[in-house]
Amino acid sequence: NAGVTQTPKFRILKIGQSMTLQCTQDMNHNYMYWYRQDPGMGLKLIYYSVGAGITDKGEVPNGYNVSRSTTEDFPLRLELAAPSQTSVYFCASSSRGPQETQYFGPGTRLLVL
């Protein structure tokens, strides 16, 4: 049981480039989330999904897109990378219900130059 896996671990992008951050979970969770973590700012929710085919914006969605075609996968797409997107990105998953624990992946560190 691998839990939540993320690839890549680290990436450097040039301004204007695009990339997809991959996230997969093997716990059959309906709910999945993408967060970004910036120093001293805690975690901010970018997008979330309550099931395959259903996604919605979080607190900081600008510059990002997501899709959820399967229960297991929840990729995050950056279309035109900007220096403001330099951050550490975490994917998480959980069962239904606000009392449920969220399980986090190891993170992807992204540097946009």
Partner 1 sequence: AQSVTQLDSQVPVFEEAPVELRCNYSSSVSVYLFWYVQYPNQGLQLLLKYLSGSTLVESINGFEAEFNKSQTSFHLRKPSVHISDTAEYFCAVSVPGGATNKLIFGTGTLLAVQP
Distances (CA, A) of 98 to 6, 35, 66, 93, 101: 23, 17, 22, 12, 8
Any residues with CB less than 8 A from the CB of 58 and at least 6 apart, and which? 33, 34, 44, 45, 46, 47, 48
Span from 20-28, 67-75, 77-85, 99-107 in contact with partner 1 (CB under 8 A):
99-107
CB of 1 to partner 1, least distance (A): 15
Contact positions with partner 1 (CB under 8 A) in 44-63: 44-45, 48, 50, 56, 58
Residues that bind partner 1 (CB under 8 A): 4, 31, 33, 40-45, 48, 50, 56, 58, 90, 92, 94, 96-107
